[in-house]
Amino acid sequence: MARRIAAGAAYGGGSIGLLGAAGVGVLLAEVQLAKRSVGGGTAPVPPSGDGWYGLAFGHTEPLRMGMLGDSTAAGQGVRRAGQTPGALLASGLAAVAERPVDLWNVALPGARSDDLDRQVTLLLSDPSRVPDVCVIMIGANDVTHRLPATQSVRCLAAAVRRLRTAGAEVVVGTCPDLGTIEPVYQPLRWLARRVSRQLAAAQTIVAVEQGARTVSLGDLLGPEFAANPRELFGPDNYHPSAEGYATAAMAVLPTLCAVLNLWPETDRLDATRDEDMLPVAKAASAAAAQAGTEVTGARAPWALLKHRRRRHLPTAAEATPAGAVPNGAVPAGAVPPGAVPSGATPPDGPPDAEETRQVGWEA
């Protein structure tokens, strides 16, 4: 199905959808019940995270990073700029690169993939701020507003192509699994999961074909959110909380660093992490089913499936060990958390969320 959607987008098809008409009537009552529960609280307007991060590394030669997408990319559901995924990623990128990062977030809550053209135009409007790398998180509103799947992935492919033509590297966080939203009941939950994964797989195919890397966000809203719904969902029961965004950021950060050649890469597949070289459609399907899976294009029609290591969120005791400097300050002459001293080997995994906050300053 994902391959059919991608092919339909490439050749102008518009009739291939993710839902058949047969089951729609049966699910209408479930949809109405879900609407009464989802969004019952109030999600705060997402704070602007635009600005420079990692100023401890200087004020010149910044890496320019763009953030595009919907409310997930904007960070709706949190109140502090430092808790948004853009700020977390910019802080982590600065720590690994040992360079400041200039973040420009043009994501719009409620946006669908057909808004990406406007966002890309805005991001490329200033010749002096053309991004080095862009992160796109999109897809949830395409499902909930029934945007035709072929149109959805066609818009994403066009956005990735424009950014790549402008010289930016691109990382796409694919459609999250909407079947994990707590107030959604069966059979709508099963259908939402199926539709979300099909769209995520189709997004992976078209993004990789345009030269981007993708990271599956689907199951990040799966086992972890199901086990801790009150902790990882925001006050409206729909958007992630600060901890939820930190979980997603930790999944995307290694790929963000790797695409800029800041992370050690190897052509050898790690069997212990179920890494493999697969046809792109099969790699897309496998990635949609497992959170945090990266898909990178190889020689057509093959793609590399990678499962980069993610660390757990530190407990309070782990985040403040004995003898640590209060408030995340860095002692004179010390190496900031997550940074790599000159001549040293990069760490085996990405900095923890707490570490990225210590080296990143809100704009």
pLDDT of residue 354: 39
pLDDT of residue 227: 54
pLDDT of residue 285: 85
pLDDT of residue 109: 87
Q: Please confirm, yes or no, whether 71 is among the known catalytic residues.
A: yes
Given 239, 241, 307, 352, the catalytic residue: 239
Q: How many Å is the Cα radius of gyration of the chain?
A: 20
pLDDT of residue 48: 85
pLDDT of residue 321: 42
Q: Please confirm, yes or no, whether 348 is among the known catalytic residues.
A: no
Exposed e or buried b per residue across 255-286, where buried means at least 16 C-beta atoms within 10 angstroms of its C-beta: bbbbbbebbeeeeeeeeeeebbebebbbbbbb
Beta carbons within 8 Å of 227's beta carbon, 6+ residues apart = none
Please identify every stretch of the chain with a pLDDT value under 70, giving residue numbers as ranges: 1-44, 179-189, 219-239, 266-267, 271-272, 309-363
> Which candidate, 177, 102, 107, places its Cα nearest to that of 136?
107
Q: Please confirm, yes or no, whether 236 is among the known catalytic residues.
A: yes
Q: Tokens for 20?
A: 């058949």
pLDDT of residue 181: 61
Q: Can you spell out the DSSP letters for 269-292?
A: --GGGT-EEEEHHHHHHHHHTSTT
Given 70, 71, 115, 216, the catalytic residue: 71
pLDDT of residue 1: 63
